[in-house]
Amino acid sequence: MLDLSKYQSIGQALKDALDQFADEVCLIEADREREKERLTYRDFKECAHPLARALQDAGFTAGDRASIIMTNQSKWLISAYAIFFAGGTLVPLDYKLTPDEQWQLLKHSGASVLITEYPIWRQLSASVGRVAAANVRTVLVTEAPANAELSGALRWEDFHGAGEPRFVSRVRKDTACIVYSSGTGGRPKGCMMTHENYLEQCVALTSIYPFWPGVRYLSILPTNHAIDFMVGFFGPFTCGAAVVHLRTLRPEYVREAFPKYKITYVSLVPLVLKNLQKGLQARFDALPPAKRKIFNALVAINKALTKSKSRPGISRRLLKQVHEAFGGELRAIIVGGAFTEPQTLQFFYDLGIPVANGYGLTEAGTAITVNDLKPFRADTVGKPLPGMEVRIMNPAADGVGEVSVRSKTVMSGYLSDPELTAETIVDAWLMTGDLGRFDETGHLLLSGRKKNMVVTEEGKNIYPEDVEAVFETLPVKEFCVFAANYIWPKRSMTGERLVLVIHLDPGQQYGEELRQDISARNNRLLNYKRIHGVVVLDEDFPRTASLKIKRNVLAERLASLEGASAILPL
C-alpha cells in the first residue's frame, strides 16, 4: 500500500498507484455471463490520460466541478481519476434519482461538466429541469449508439486530447468531492469532502480490512455512495487491488460472480444481506435430515473455534461447500448504509464469513466505528476507527446520548449552507443525530435517532421535507410529513416509517376519497420514499412569523398522541 501520509491529494496518490502497480489488474467489468473488460493499472492510465487532457483543452481547471451520473463500471473510475488528475472537484450523483432531481443537484453543485451514460442522458436531456442548470456546459455520454441524437452532448469515447495532460496539484484541505447525503426536496445537503478526509479514512479502514495486489473487491453499492467510493475505488487502488463491476445486479449474476472472480470483499446494504441469508437458510432447510445434522454440527464446531477471533482457514475447511459458493476467498462482507440486525450478522459469522459491520455517515467520511472482529460482536457497531474521537453528548442516566465525532475525516461543511453547517458541526464536533452509548469494552451501541429522518434497509436517507412536494395541492387545510420515530422515539434503528400529518378544513372528513387521493400521490414517489400512514390533527399547526411550520413544536404536540392508534394506515 502507498504511504498515504505523504500525499496531499487523491489525484496525487492515484497517479503514483497507477505507476507502482502498472502490471496488476485493477478493473474487471462483466455483463451477465460475458466479461466485457479487464484493465491493468497501465491500461487504466492509458484510458484516463487522454480524457484528462481533453478536459484541460476544454478549459477545465483547478477547483472546477465535474459530475458523474453512471451505474458502476470502469468508465466511472476512469472519469473520476481524470477529473482528479486535472485538479477538479468530483460531484458523484445517484443514478437512481429522477432526472429533475439530478438537474436540481447539478445546478446546486455548480458543476460545469457532466459525465453520464447514454440511457441516463436520454432521460436527462428530455427533462425540463435541464433549463435551470445552465452551469453544465460540457456533457460527455458513454456508450451512445452510432446514430443516437445526443442533444448537445459529446461522445465520451471520442473525447480524447492529444499529448500528455498536465497534473494539477491540490492540497489536503481542498475539496475533493461534493457528496449529496440527501436533500432533493429543497435543501440539498452537499457534503464538501476534502482530500484529507479521504486520505485519512483510507488509512484507518485499511488498517483493519487491508487490500493488496490480488485482492478482488466486488462493487455493487453505487459508486457515488461514500462506502463504494472508498472501498470500491480509492482503497483498493492505493493498494494495487482489483475492482470487479457487474453491469447487471440480477441476483443470479451476483451469485455467479463470487466463484467466477474469487471475490475477497464485497459491500452490501442490509436488505441484500438479509436476502442472501434467506436464500442460504432455505438451502440449509432443504438438506436431508442426516446431512442437516452433520451440517449443524459443523456450524457448532466453527462457532466454538471462532468465538474469540475469526479463523478463515479453519472455517473454509469445515464449511467447504458454503465457502465455495462464495468463491472460497471471501474474507469479509462489508455492510453499510443502514442498521443491520444482529441476528443477520451472527448468521454469517457462524458460517465463518465475517460481516464488517460498522457505523458511519457521509458527513463523517464514511465510517466512524467498525467491528474489528477481536472478538466478533453482533450486538454493536464496533469500536471507533483509529483517528476518530467519538463521544456521547448529554448522556441520560442509562448512558444514551447523541453520538458526536471529531476527526480529520469529517467534512468541511455543507456546500452553500453555512447555517446548516453551523448546526451540524459544533466546535469541530460533528453532531450525528444518532443516539447511542458505549459499553464497558468500548463498543458503540446505537439505540435510535434524534433527527427527523429515516434510513431504509437499502441505505437510503429520506428526509420528510424531500417528499412533501407531492402532497402540495392536497385538499386539506395544511399538512406536514414526519419520521414516526422522530415523534414517537423507539429504541431501535430499524422499521422506520414516514407519516403524513394533516389538518382538515372545517367540516371536512377524512373519507375514502381523500385517502385515495393521498394514496395516488404517494404512489408517484419512488417506493422507498413513500409514507406509511396518516395522522389527522384537529388543530392549527404552529408557525413562525414567516408562516413556516415549526416542525419541532408540532412534533412535541404530536408526541402527546398515542402513536400506534393515531396513525391511520393508507
- In the complex, the residues that contact other proteins under the rule CB under 8 A are 32, 71, 95-96, 98, 117, 119-120, 247-252, 271-272, 275, 457-458, 523, 526-528
- List alpha helices for 306-447, DSSP H: 312-318, 320-325, 342-350, 418-424
Q: Between 253 and 295, whose beta carbon lies closer to other proteins? A: 253
Question: To the nearest whole angstrom, how small is the minimum distance from the Cβ of residue 531 to other proteins?
Answer: 12
- Nearer to other proteins by C-beta: 329 or 457? 457
Nearer to other proteins, 40 or 277 (CB): 277
Find where cell 455512495 sits: 225
Check residue 549 and report its DSSP letter.
Answer: B
Residue number, 527 or 565, with CB nearest to other proteins = 527
Rounded distance, CA 464 to CA 185, Å?
9
Q: Which is nearer to other proteins, 42 or 247 (CB)?
A: 247
Which of 172, 203, 174 lies closest to 367 in space, CA to CA?
203
The residues that bridge with 25 in the sheet, in sequence order, are: 40
Q: How far is CA 482 from CA 63, 430, 479, in A?
A: 38, 23, 10
- In the complex, the smallest distance separating the C-beta of residue 357 from other proteins, rounded to whole angstroms, is 20
Q: Which is nearer to other proteins, 274 or 449 (CB)?
A: 274
Of 417 and 458, nearer to other proteins (C-beta) is 458
**CA nearest neighbour of 199 among 2, 484, 421:** 2
Q: CA distances (Å), 56 to each of 49, 133, 137, 178, 568, in order?
A: 11, 22, 14, 20, 57
User: Which one, 178 or 272, has the nearer CB to other proteins?
Assistant: 272
β-bridge partners, 158: none
Q: Which of helix, strand or coil describes residue 119?
A: helix
Q: How far apart are CA 78 and CA 142, in angstroms?
A: 12
As measured in angstroms, the least distance from the Cβ of 450 to other proteins is 27
Q: Assign residue 385 a region: left if phi > 0, alpha if psi is -120 to 50, beta otherwise?
A: beta
Whether the Cβ atoms of residue 386 and residue 398 lie closer than 8 Å to each other: no
Between 117 and 200, name the residue whose CB sits nearer to other proteins.
117
In the bound complex, what is the minimum distance in angstroms from residue 509's beta carbon to other proteins?
A: 25
- CB neighbour list of residue 319: distance below 8 Å, 6 or more residues apart: 298, 299, 302, 351, 352
Residue 268's SS3 state is: strand
In terms of CB distance, is 364 or 500 closer to other proteins?
500
SS (H, E, C) 195-224: HHHHHHHHHHHHHHCCCCCCCEEEECCCCC
Q: How far is the CB of 268 from other proteins (least distance, A)?
A: 11
Q: Shortest gap between Cβ of 457 and other proteins (angstroms)?
A: 8
Nearest to 198 by CA among 233, 164, 169: 233
The CA distance from 136 to 98, in Å, is 17
Smallest distance, Å, CB 333 to other proteins?
16
Helix (H), strand (E) at residue 554: helix 551-559
Nearest approach in angstroms of CB 98 to other proteins is: 7
Dist CA 72 CA 198 (whole Å): 20
Half-sphere exposure of 335 (CA within 13 A, CB side): 29
* Total residue count of the chain as it appears in this document: 570
Nearer to other proteins, 441 or 527 (CB): 527
> Which residue, 123 or 296, is less far from other proteins as judged by CB?
123
Smallest distance from the beta carbon of 527 to other proteins, in angstroms?
4
Q: Measuring CA to CA, which residue among 62, 440, 447, 17 is closest to residue 235?
A: 17
**To the nearest whole angstrom, how small is the minimum distance from the Cβ of residue 251 to other proteins?**
6
Q: How far is the CB of 430 from other proteins (least distance, A)?
A: 30
Nearer to other proteins, 426 or 526 (CB): 526
